[in-house]
Structure 1
Amino acid sequence: MTDRPRLLPILGPAGHAGRDPKTCLYRCGNACDHPVPNESANPYLGDVVNTAMTRRGVVRAGAVGALVLGFGAAPAAAGAANAAPATAPAAAPRHGGGRAGALTFKPIPPNVLDTVIVPNGYDSAVVIRWGDPILPGVPRLDVHRQSARHQSGQFGYNNDFLGVLPLGRDGRRALLVANHEYTNEELMFPGFTTQEALSVEQVRVAMAAHGMSVVELERVDGTGQWRPVGGRHRPYNKRITMLDTPFRFTGPAAGHALLRTAADPRGLTPIGTLNNCAGGVTPWGTVLSGEENFNQYFVGGDAAPAALKPSLARYGISTTARVPEESRRWDRAQERFDLAKHPHEAHRFGWIVEVDPYDPGSRPRKHTAMGRFKHEGANVIVARNGQVAAYMGDDERFDYLYKFVSAKKFVPGGSAAARRHNLTLLESGTLYVAKLTGDSPAAEIDGTGKLPSDGAFDGRGTWIKLVSGDRSHVPGMTAAEVLTFARLAGDAVGATKMDRPEDVQPSLRTGKIYAALTNNTNRGAEANAGPDEANPRRENKHGQILEIVEDRGDHTGESFTWSLPIVCGDPADASTYFAGYDKSAVSPISCPDNVAFDSAGNLWISTDGNALGSNDGLFATAIEGPERGHLKQFLTVPPGAETCGPFITGDDRSVFTAVQHPGEIDGATLDEPASTWPDGDFAKPAVVVTWRLDGGPIGS
């Protein structure tokens, strides 16, 4: 604990599943207050249960890259900026390896303190915060004199996904890559009243605060602490914003009519990236970023072409109101956000973005082969045959899990030629959506969370093929249509409706896949789909963790088994489950958001929207052996904040956490904050690093 704890009042009522109303407004455009976008009649598990089936035979996405690119362990000859890529793994990641060790830290108790709390024997420090300059000639944040030009050179707002990639062989330098998901204007601008009252320049500031940042870091005195590299010449530092950063579309839908606009008649060059949530670090040393709740930025859906309205509505865009209540009115700054005038602009968001932090001059790409939906992120593993598989979740109530398998194979080695090849791996391949079936009688899944008679929520699953290259497997849809409207394709083939699938991450130690299903208070409510074995509770406000085991360990295959090792909530609640571990010894957890791994294979889980009344946090548990399910809370963030990242470095000496939207509590403003973290004046999103005081590995 590095700050003096300060207890602040909760200013507003709890939001959906514990989230504050302000979070619901800004993060997802009050999605829970609108009709569920998925109105398909495809079956859920309770309808398709097969009792004859035999039973079973992720710090965040960056952990994949951390294990692959490990600090000081992988080739990391840093080249000059704009030259050949600086770092690449020597070989494809394989299962196994890493240290062994139990989680020995003493769990911290739930709390509502206005600070970051870590266990005894650990320390933490702010690495970088909103408004810190990262480009030359840019001043520090001054909220009274902020401009879009300044914000375009400063660290952006609401940092979410974090990736930390090694720079050099000695483990002393690294590149931090951070998403900036959305903005809280009432916490950014003095005297804020309404979105409509913002000046156009303030709208442009908010647009510049979205996107991504790349920041060069250095280790502090050989410890697990890190800080930005000082000095004016920092060639790797970069801001990617919504204002004017050009991207490039790749894959089968690139150039399709659905992606063309008046400003880009070829449909190849979208501008900016929007509402970036989670992501991943690839084995070839790039960063993936998921575009999520892009729908809330558009107006004019009521006047969009009639043929597009069903697909717009399926993605949560209002087709009945000119200006939805949740609109940020970006159309006042850039006309492209008015769908009445530019109806295809919305199709240019909702993709997986790939950024090469080692080549600051490279243009980031949006990979259409990986499908368009509300991406939480994407995480890659190299399959046994050399192809790569990327696992993805669509963060919406009753939406789906996806897998992408590359057409090409990963080329190991650190050569420039190998890396050029690997940079094309996500441009072509096969996109799948998941269908899960349970192995228990439907009558035993009663919505209370009570375990069925076989003692586990589990079953089998199938990856349903949607598109391969430019060939569609969905009748009545072309490949470009399947990719641009992947949700509609999933509806058509009967994918399983899940409880907000967010981060999905493979363990490089076991090859198993773990998905955070955050919550779904609409499960079983009114006319919505009821409980099933993978989503076993009605009005689910706490969420669960899904474990997938690909048949024969084949990540390119089309069948798997699944189970729920953790059903979240208060351990004293009978509806919770912790892999059979003694629940009196585990920490309470609510609303899992991101998953990641340390090199011992322990699962780390961050939360968003704790519905148990305390601050969000970071948790860890073993997922193999006798300690499986022994969940322990490692860290908490300030009131109103969401725990994002997290990222554990390859040497396990540091865990980076993104503290997103601290003080995001109804009624709070910059002038009257609900949190003063981290500087004692007003709340600022920031990145925190935590390390062990004795220099040992995090957790163990």
Structure 2
Amino acid sequence: MSRRLLPLLTTRRAAVTCEYRCGDACFHEAPNTSANPYFGDIVGEVISRRGALRAGAVVALSGGALAATNGLATPGAAARPSAHPPKPAPGTDFTRVTPNLLDEVVVPEGYEQAVVIRWGDPVLPGAPEFDFDDQTATAQERQFGFNCDFAAILPLDPLGLTGLLVTNHEYTSEKYMFRGYDPDNPTEEQVRIAWAAHGLSVVMIARPMHSGRYTPRMSWFNRRITLTTPFRMTGPAAGSDLLKTPADPTGTHVLGTMNNCAGGVTPWGTILSGEENFNQYYANADAVTDPVRRARLARYGVRGGATTRKWERFDPRWDVARHPNEANRFGWVVEIDPHDPHSTPVKHTALGRFKHECANVRVTPDGRVVAYSGDDERFEYIYKFVSDRRMKRGHGRAARRHNMTLLDSGTLYVARLTGDSPAAEIDGSGRLPSDGEFDGTGEWIPLVSGDTSFVDGMTAEEVYVFTREAADKVGATKMDRPEDIEPHPRTGRVYCALTNNTQRGPGGRAMADEANPRHENRHGQVLEFEEERGDALALRFTWRLLLVCGDPASPDTYFAGFPKDQVSPISSPDNVAFDRHGNLWISTDSGEVLGINDGLYVVPLEGRSRGHLKLFLTVPRGAEACGPVIGDKVVTVCVQHPGELDGASADDPASHWPDGGDTPPRPSVVAVWKPGRWGLADIGS
């Protein structure tokens, strides 16, 4: 096969997605203006995707062979010829999907798929059937929310035939939600619909004995959590003056959660959800006169003037000039108990405040818990929290209530990474250094524990509420958008998706370093690290890049040393998950940078197949693949913002997925499975 680069049809995601999801973060200077040193060995255009997609081109896989490796123990092993590819690793024995630009979910040959639930489908009793042209806030409060992102399935029976589907609803794209939408003059009802379309859904689902075709059920468990749902603030910053508002003079209660991105399932059966791009919802920061307060708003990207959605016209809490502390009440890790629909969700202040992509928990041998989290913005940081208290075993209500306090007392750390290659070998090109991989060591720097701050010039409350500022001061390593972070359920190694960062390099906030080895990094990388002695409580770790993403034919890509003529192209890794075989699954955000639809990939982490990345499914045009739940027989994925392309709108849709015809696109959860007779060992997968 001849080597050729994939055609680059665009250089970034659709502008409208940037506008509604993150407030055009990529069009503004990164909020991190700190001059902290960059640890590691450091050396000192938009084409409309809509037109390209409508051309219907199918992108062919490209080739190019590099070295293979026997696995993590010998990452720098000599090259092995690719003429005799290894047998597929367990869990990856499918024919990889060809990258494409189709307006459908594409799955491997021999697999089936079905939509589980769509935006607007009934969740609570009394919810009407969805009517795109007759939406109301009252209806949306009882219906499945918009733009599903993280998802989890909590089994309700030993065979896994029933379960609770818990889903984030990250953001609203009003331009695609309402015909005739006027962004300069939204109606109050449209705004209230958007408030109700944010948050989370808890829905009971069920499937037949030998099929992955999940269907929603009305149940006592079903719940909608929205921007008007009461939450409790817990942990050491709860009650702080920095969290008090006229509506909540105690600083302990807040209405709602928003921009919930990734999340995690705790060992005690609750859900953690990260509040991410909260900054874009707040108006008029330019009218704040206090210089310290204004600088702290800017550090989180809260800017002046009106917001995209104009919510400040209908509720003054979205106006930081009038209520400057309201923004401090978002940007936390949220915990909900799906098993108790009457419980009050909490926001854990001990885990710090930033643009949380997620929080994922690992239990130590002595029963304490460690939570990993990334701050999803260019040049931001990776964090770890270690609890003081120990987990109680068991699944009863008393144990769950105790365990829901574990994230309220402990120590918060931030990561500093150092490369082990000569500075001259890390030049921003992505070329591998002489030792054959990007790797090095790292350390966890303490920020705060209880009422004790380890950051000069900042109180403990300030560290919790302005965590980015604290991390700046201690010299944390600026990363290329840390997104989902997950510890491996068996090995304890931790995997972090670093999505991209086109501003790294000359003129940006940082030059390349070994953990972030490319200037103008459009495609991202996947970081693998292991705590010292395998102990999650350790303060030192070793790390390496598992993947340096992009077109396999490009010299600046790397797939753990696996021959590149046998791997799928990938851009912008976002969410990560594991199957029961120990393989890593990766969903992507911004595949359009390579001119292909986003998708869900799998890569083995051990043995001769380590690095053998394969594309399992692709999502429709304009969509992002989110929140994979990986079973041995059934995989679910959230299809977020289908048809969200420049030039499209509710009046002129670019997609008609999932219902076809002339219907509007609807974010949905999709299940994929391979039909056949399943043994008892497979039914719960």
- Give the one of 13, 17, 24 matched to 1:19: 13
How far is 1:102 from its partner?
4.8
User: What are the residue-to-residue correspondences of 1:352-363 with 2, within 5 Å?
Assistant: 352-363=333-344
2:604 is equivalent to residue 622 of structure 1: yes
Task: After superposition, give the CA deviation of every residue in 1:544-590 in whole Å (9 maximum; x if it has no partner).
Answer: 00001000011111100000011000110110000110110000100
- Give the one of 129, 138, 149 matched to 1:140: 129
User: What are the residue-to-residue correspondences of 1:71-150 with 2, within 5 Å?
Assistant: 101-150=90-139
TM-score by length of 1: 0.88
Q: Give 2:518's aligned residue.
A: 537
Q: Give 1:640's aligned residue.
A: 622
Matching residue's letter, 2:291: A
2:162 is equivalent to residue 180 of structure 1: no
Instruction: Tell me, yes or no, if the aligned pair for 2:233 and 2:348 is still in contact at 8 Å.
Output: yes
Matching residue's letter, 1:671: D
**Separation of aligned partners in 2, 1:460 and 1:366:** 32
Instruction: Tell me, yes or no, if the aligned pair for 1:298 and 1:327 is still in contact at 8 Å.
Output: no
- Give the one of 268, 274, 277 matched to 2:252: 268
Residue range with higher mean Cα deviation, 308-317 or 217-226:
217-226
Instruction: Tell me, yes or no, if the aligned pair for 2:164 and 2:203 is still in contact at 8 Å.
Output: yes
Which structure 1 segments of 5+ residues have no match? 1-11, 50-55, 58-99
State, as a whole percentage, how many aligned pairs show the same letter: 60
How far is 1:527 from its partner?
3.9
User: What are the residue-to-residue correspondences of 1:467-616 with 2, within 5 Å?
Assistant: 467-610=448-591, 611-616=593-598
How far is 1:327 from its partner?
2.7
SS in 2 for 1:27: helix
User: What are the residue-to-residue correspondences of 1:411-426 with 2, within 5 Å?
Assistant: 411-426=392-407
Instruction: Tell me, yes or no, if the aligned pair for 1:461 and 1:562 is still in contact at 8 Å.
Output: yes
Instruction: Tell me, yes or no, if the aligned pair for 1:217 and 1:226 is still in contact at 8 Å.
Output: yes
SS in 2 for 1:489: helix
Task: After superposition, give the CA deviation of every residue in 1:356-394 in whole Å (9 maximum; x if it has no partner).
Answer: 000000000000000000010111111122111111000
**Separation of aligned partners in 2, 1:453 and 1:618:** 32
Q: Give 2:389's aligned residue.
A: 408
Matching residue's letter, 1:564: L
Instruction: Tell me, yes or no, if the aligned pair for 1:18 and 1:613 is still in contact at 8 Å.
Output: no
**Separation of aligned partners in 2, 1:478 and 1:599:** 44
User: What are the residue-to-residue correspondences of 1:149-160 with 2, within 5 Å?
Assistant: 149-160=138-149
**Separation of aligned partners in 1, 2:398 and 2:232:** 21
Q: Give 1:91's aligned residue.
A: none
Instruction: Tell me, yes or no, if the aligned pair for 2:238 and 2:349 is still in contact at 8 Å.
Output: yes
TM-score by length of 2: 0.89
**Separation of aligned partners in 1, 2:130 and 2:30:** 39
Instruction: Tell me, yes or no, if the aligned pair for 2:40 and 2:513 is still in contact at 8 Å.
Output: yes
SS in 2 for 1:463: strand
Q: Give 1:31's aligned residue.
A: 25
SS in 2 for 1:408: coil
- Give the one of 268, 272, 282 matched to 1:288: 272
Residue range with higher mean Cα deviation, 378-387 or 355-364:
378-387
**Separation of aligned partners in 2, 1:167 and 1:111:** 37
Q: Give 1:206's aligned residue.
A: 194
Matching residue's letter, 2:479: M
RMSD over aligned CA atoms reads 1.7
Task: After superposition, give the CA deviation of every residue in 1:78-110 in whole Å (9 maximum; x if it has no partner).
Answer: xxxxxxxxxxxxxxxxxxxxxx82511110000
- Give the one of 187, 190, 213 matched to 1:225: 213
Q: Give 2:659's aligned residue.
A: 679
**Separation of aligned partners in 1, 2:175 and 2:617:** 27
SS in 2 for 1:587: coil
Instruction: Tell me, yes or no, if the aligned pair for 1:162 and 1:179 is still in contact at 8 Å.
Output: yes
Instruction: Tell me, yes or no, if the aligned pair for 1:48 and 1:437 is still in contact at 8 Å.
Output: no
SS in 2 for 1:45: coil
SS in 2 for 1:310: helix
Q: Give 2:60's aligned residue.
A: none
Task: After superposition, give the CA deviation of every residue in 1:451-492 in whole Å (9 maximum; x if it has no partner).
Answer: 001111000000000011121111111111101011000000
Instruction: Tell me, yes or no, if the aligned pair for 2:120 and 2:143 is still in contact at 8 Å.
Output: yes
Instruction: Tell me, yes or no, if the aligned pair for 1:641 and 1:659 is still in contact at 8 Å.
Output: yes
Instruction: Tell me, yes or no, if the aligned pair for 1:567 and 1:576 is still in contact at 8 Å.
Output: yes
- Give the one of 312, 317, 329 matched to 2:302: 317
Matching residue's letter, 2:112: D
Which structure 2 segments of 5+ residues have no match? 1-7, 44-71, 74-88
Residue range with higher mean Cα deviation, 572-581 or 687-696:
687-696
2:675 is equivalent to residue 693 of structure 1: yes
2:416 is equivalent to residue 439 of structure 1: no
How far is 1:424 from its partner?
1.1
Matching residue's letter, 1:638: P
**Separation of aligned partners in 2, 1:251 and 1:522:** 36
